[in-house]
Structure 1
């Protein structure tokens, strides 16, 4: 997800049919985003296809959409004053632990989805 939002091109093998019987992998996710219009073909060679964000507007919509999902599931505001303080603590004092703890809380809230 981060590499997509950073506008890095994504190699993909398109998923032609989704099934609840198989695990949803990275190619499935990229394929779904392509089918929904969030990604577009940027490069095509005989052996692979690279996807990227179609434009800045989609990038912003995409970021807002997934930020909202993360906030809804975690019950935490991503850009709160508390989370900004954890980043400041890392930047100013080299202390990464508050940021790590904040990220752990958010990631643990997603365990019910796996």
Structure 2
């Protein structure tokens, strides 16, 4: 049987690839697999070398950094789009167009 710590390192590498490629389904699969592995009691009994511990730590920190960067990008894109694609005008309940101060309504006339 393969060392579960080595399997954790493999899962972390798969997770990194999923983050970079934007493959959310694969990322969720990795998270489930990682959770299952970390709950396995045999993990506590398995030997863990210093090199493998450093590799797992490096991969974990790197993946966390990638996720934070991705979330920061999404938040910034959301702010940008909200700022630049905000409504330029409104319609009353009766369908009459009303301009917001300094805004222009788009014309639907052809």
After TM superposition, is the score higher than 0.5?
no
Higher share in helix: 2
Higher share in strand: 1
Q: Greater relative contact order: 1 or 2 (C-alpha under 8 angstroms, separation 6 or more)? A: 2
Q: Larger radius of gyration, structure 1 or 2?
A: 2
Which TM-score applies when normalising by structure 2? 0.23
